[in-house]
Each structure stands twice: as structure tokens, then as C-alpha cells.
Amino acid sequence: MKNKSSLLALVAVLVVIGIAIGSRLLVWTSDGHATIGGPFSMTDENGQPVTEKTYAGRWMLIYFGYTYCPDVCPTALGVVAGALDGLSPSERAKLVPIFITVDPERDTPELMKNYTAAFAPDMVGLVGTAEQTNAAKKAFKVYAEKAKGGDAESYTVDHSSILYLMGPDGKFVQHFPHGVTSGELLAGLQKHLH
């Protein structure tokens, strides 16, 4: 019974932390836009430099994670893949799914390319230097820190798990929290892509 009480207390603390982090995510400007997103400069899975301007004119569905993630990232990207499969070809052409690593020490462009291809052939994997990654995390209000324990090669990274939908103008439109289903994500995307 004590273990169950401890587990419930831990869950309660995590919920409170999640609410606190979530409330900081959605800060709005005076013109009604959330202050999420902005300029970024990274390298794509083909080794080419990219910025947010590379995707101008297209909707971006952005997720931050890493290829060594044991469960959260594969689950989220599986949801994305399911939603993408439900889009029509014309809807799909308007959207670029982007996976940005929060683990630039281990994730290489080649590793990102193989990883994203397992979920969707057109998913783009982006890597950056530590400075570029930190700038992108800051712009998107992403939490990501190495977990304590583990060695130099087998560590995990604690990170937020949120999908960001950015408009063709690069501005934040909507977020989808961890736990969203493929059907819910598909409906949310279709609402904006029409």
C-alpha cells in the first residue's frame, strides 16, 4: 500500500509540474499570437543547412525528441504517422512534419534520416550544434535535460512531449499535447489545412 501511495504522490507532483510548464508555454502577444517559435538554424538529415525560411509557405508540424528515446518519442511519432496517413495527397503536400533532436551529442543527420523514415518518408529530421539546439528549444519553450545517471553513451533525456503546428507564415497556430490520438491530430490538422 505504501508503494501505491508513493506512486500516486509522484503522479500528482508530475501533473502539477506539467501544468506549470504548460502554463508557461502559451504566452500570448498583444496581437493574439502565442510567443512560440521563431528563427532557427539547423542541419537536415541530408546534411544541408536549413532555417525556418526553408519551409516558408508550408505548414510545419514540429516535434522535439531524440532517436535513443525509449518510448515517448516513438509513441508521438507513431501518432504523427497515423495522422499523416489520413491526409489526402493535397493536404499532405501543404505540410512538412519535422523532428528536431534534443540530443545533438548522439543524433547525427544519418541517424535522424533512418529514424524519421521509419515513421514517414517525408518526415524531416533536424540536428544542430548545442547552441543551435538550445536556441530552438528556447524559441519553442521546450524542456529537455539529460537525466541523472547513465554513462556518456547510455543516458536518457527528459523532455517535454508536445506537437507544434506552425502556419505557412511561420507563426504558432496550435499545439497538441502528449496523449493526443492519431484521429484527434488528423482532425486538428484538417481543420487548418483546408
What CATH number did the domain enclosing 105 receive?
3.40.30.10
| The pLDDT of residue 150 | 72
Residue partners of 193: CB distance under 8 A and separation at least 6: 59, 87, 91, 94, 95
Q: For the chain, how many structural domains are there in total? A: 2
Name the grid cell of 2.
Answer: 505504501
Give the global pTM.
Answer: 0.82
Q: What is the spatial distance between Cα 80 and Cα 96, in angstroms, rounded to a whole number?
A: 11
What angle in degrees, to the nearest 10, is found between the helix axes of 72-86 and 182-193? Answer: 50
**Intra-chain end-to-end CA distance of the chain, in Å:** 52
Chunked into runs of 10 residues, the chain (194 residues) has average pLDDT values of 42 36 42 76 97 96 97 97 98 98 97 97 97 96 90 89 97 96 98 92
Based on the domain organization, do 17 and 81 belong to the same domain? no
Based on the domain organization, do 12 and 75 belong to the same domain? no
